[in-house]
């Protein structure tokens, strides 16, 4: 991430340093504190300038303070600890996109794979290509894999073993990024897709997959490594995927997102994240797409 000092951002914006300090104290400009010093992510500054050029403030108050989309243990914790005041409706990536487009969420978390290309989170494929004010921010890369009972009593070695007819595979709801990924991985391995789960027999988030397996209701399922480890379950890594945050440009500058981004620069966040498994946070906060 390209970080500017106070003097550098003042020169970049052709303002006096005193004005930069005034903007910081008023909460008007995106910034972070690293070891007590002010730093300014260049991409965030560019977006801030564009927002003020466009004057696109109308309608912000009408968007409810909601995070929708994919569930993630680290993000769930950070949204609360950062004081974002965002309610969380984690019903899968597809639901998050619908709520974002309908104006029922400020932020949507998505990890949607294109089964033809193997690429993740392409705006056009995610039905977000028509948002002219779309901004997408990287949260993390996560390790997805097979979650298994402790000790792996059935001796499952990889995705190819899902062809066994004696396995009960825990599945996610239609529209969930993890369900699409499971079907993609099975299809790529030449396996028949599992039958759709019966109503009431699907897991609605990462932790629910782990609970189904630890309770003996299912033999395996696809989830992130962090969910498996914190429930004491075995895990076979299969693929690394990005979890990205999509929003309207104006909502990037609202307090919820700015508090979240600032929190990711703190020692508290880094220490907590270091205790979890299966995350790559090297691009956390990076602006990936700016319509």
| 45-93 tens-digit pLDDT | 887 777 665 544 444 457 899 999 999 999 999 999 999 999 999 999 9
pLDDT digits (tens, 9 = 90+) for 235-261: 999 999 999 999 999 999 999 999 999
The reported pLDDT for the residue numbered 196 is 64
Q: Is 61 exposed, middle or buried (0-12, 13-18, 19+ CB in 10 A)?
A: exposed
The reported pLDDT for the residue numbered 224 is 96
The reported pLDDT for the residue numbered 65 is 94
d(CA 179, CA 251): 29
Which parts of the chain sit beneath pLDDT 50? 55-60
Phi-psi region of 166 (alpha: psi -120 to 50; beta: other; left: phi over 0): alpha
User: How many Cβ atoms from other residues are within 10 Å of residue 2's Cβ?
Assistant: 9
The CATH H-level (homologous superfamily) assignment of domain 144-240 is Periplasmic binding protein-like II (3.40.190.10)
The reported pLDDT for the residue numbered 55 is 46
With tokens 């949260």, the residue in question is 139
The reported pLDDT for the residue numbered 58 is 45
Hey, where are the domains in the chain?
Answer: 3-54, 60-141+241-290, 144-240
Q: Check if 60-141+241-290 and 144-240 are the same fold.
A: yes
Tell me which of 3.40.309.10, 3.40.50.300, 3.40.190.10, 3.90.380.10 is the CATH number of domain 60-141+241-290.
3.40.190.10
pTM (2 d.p.): 0.79
């Amino acid at each position: 991430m390209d970080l500017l000092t106070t003097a550098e951002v003042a020169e970049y914006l052709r303002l006096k340093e005193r004005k930069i300090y005034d903007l910081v104290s008023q909460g008007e400009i995106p910034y972070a504190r690293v070891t007590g010093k002010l730093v300014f992510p260049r991409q965030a500054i560019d977006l801030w300038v564009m927002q003020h050029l466009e004057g696109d403030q109308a309608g912000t108050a009408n968007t409810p303070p909601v995070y929708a989309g994919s569930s993630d243990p680290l993000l769930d914790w950070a949204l609360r600890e950062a004081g974002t005041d965002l309610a969380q409706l984690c019903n899968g990536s597809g639901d998050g996109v619908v709520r974002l487009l309908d104006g029922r969420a400020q932020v949507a978390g998505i990890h949607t794979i294109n089964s033809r290309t193997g690429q993740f989170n392409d705006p056009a494929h995610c039905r977000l290509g028509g948002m002219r004010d779309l901004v997408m921010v990287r949260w993390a890369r996560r390790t997805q894999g097979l979650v298994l009972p402790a000790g792996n009593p059935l001796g499952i070695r990889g995705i190819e073993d899902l062809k066994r007819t004696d396995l009960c595979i825990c599945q996610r709801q239609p529209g969930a990024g993890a369900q699409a990924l499971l079907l993609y991985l099975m299809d790529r391995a030449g396996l028949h897709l599992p039958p759709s789960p019966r109503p009431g027999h699907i897991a609605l988030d990462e932790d629910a997959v782990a609970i189904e397996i630890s309770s003996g209701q299912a033999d395996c399922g696809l989830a992130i490594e962090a969910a498996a480890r914190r429930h004491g379950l075995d895990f076979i890594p299969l693929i690394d995927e990005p979890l990205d945050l999509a929003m309207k440009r104006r909502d990037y500058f609202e307090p919820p997102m700015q508090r979240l981004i600032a929190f990711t620069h703190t020692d508290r966040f880094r220490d907590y994240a270091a205790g979890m498994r299966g995350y790559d946070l090297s691009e956390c906060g990076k602006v990936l797409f700016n319509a």
